[in-house]
Amino acid sequence: MSSRNDQPDRRPAPAGAERRLEIGSYDELIRNEPEILRRIKAMPNGGALFLINPFLLFEDIGVVLSDTAKREVLTAEPRLAGLSAIPYRALKTSRSRQNYRVNVRGLFERRSL
């Protein structure tokens, strides 16, 4: 996954949405984990969307990763490189009840970078 610059998106959050949470590094992401988990839980099918594409989910719940943070996340979770936006958007826009739910209790496995 690529990003256009190394700086977090500073645009204000849309009206009614969570305030934007700018994350500059992997460590900062972990420090904000409780808030991010709360936002994921509040998002319809948030756990499942997290499994499908965490980066797009972060965008949708107002968590803005800097390029550095993204790079560090990819280093910690190399398998995140193969993500797609298509299933993510399909689930996000689906009006149907999903027959599985994912409760996310942590963002990424703790490991040293």
Partner 1 sequence: MSLLAGFDFVSEISNATLLALIKSNMTIGGVQVNPPFEVTVPFAGASAHMIVDDLTLDLNDDDTMSLNFAFSQSSVTVQAPVPRVICPLAGNMSVRIPLTLVPSGGNTQQVSANMGAATVTLSMPQSEQTITNALAGTNITSAQFQTMALQGVTDFVRSVPNVSFPLSFNVVPNVNGSIAPLQFSSLQVHCIGNSNRSLQALGLFGNLLASTQNNGNHTEKTSTAIQAGRDAAVSFSPGAFHSLIFCPAVGTALGMGVGSLPPSCGGSTGGVSVNGIKLMSISDSFGNGQININGSVKDSGFCYDASGTFSGNIKLSVNGNALTPSISMDEPDVTIDIPFLCYLAAGVVLGPIGVATLFVIDHVADDIADKIAGTALNKALGGGVIGAVGLSALSGSASFASLSITPEGLTLQGNIKVSVKNSSFKKSLLLKGSTTTSSENIASSGKWHTQIWCKPAKDYPYTEILQNQVATYDVTSQLMATPLSVSYTLRSITSPVAIPLTGTSGAVDIPDVTCTYAAPLSTGGAKVTQSVHLEYQLNGTALQLRNRPEDGNFAVYLEATVRDCTGAVVTGGSSVSPKAWVYFDGNAVVIGGGYEADYQECAAQMKELGDKIKNKYKPEDLYVEPWVPINFPPEYRVYEQIRVLKAMGVREAQEMILHSRLAHGSGFTRAFHAPADVRTGRETRASQEVDSYRITETEIRSQLVMLTNQLLQMQRGLVSKSSERAPNKRSR
- Is 103 a residue that touches partner 1 (CB under 8 A)? yes
Cα–Cα dist 98/113, whole Å? 35
- Is 83 a residue that touches partner 1 (CB under 8 A)? no
Q: Which is nearer to partner 1, 5 or 103 (CB)?
A: 103
Cα–Cα dist 51/80, whole Å? 10
**Cβ atoms 3, 67 nearer than 8 A:** yes
How many positions of this chain bind partner 1 (CB under 8 A)? Answer: 20
Q: Which is nearer to partner 1, 10 or 101 (CB)?
A: 101
- Is 109 a residue that touches partner 1 (CB under 8 A)? yes
Among 50, 55, 58, 88, binds partner 1 (CB under 8 A): 50
Exposed (0-12), middle (13-18) or buried (19+): which is 36, by Cβ within 10 Å?
A: buried
Tokens at 30, concatenated = 């972990």
Among 8, 46, 54, 62, binds partner 1 (CB under 8 A): 54
Strand partners, 21: 63
Q: Site residues (CB under 8 A) for partner 1?
A: 47-48, 50-51, 54, 77, 79-80, 99-110
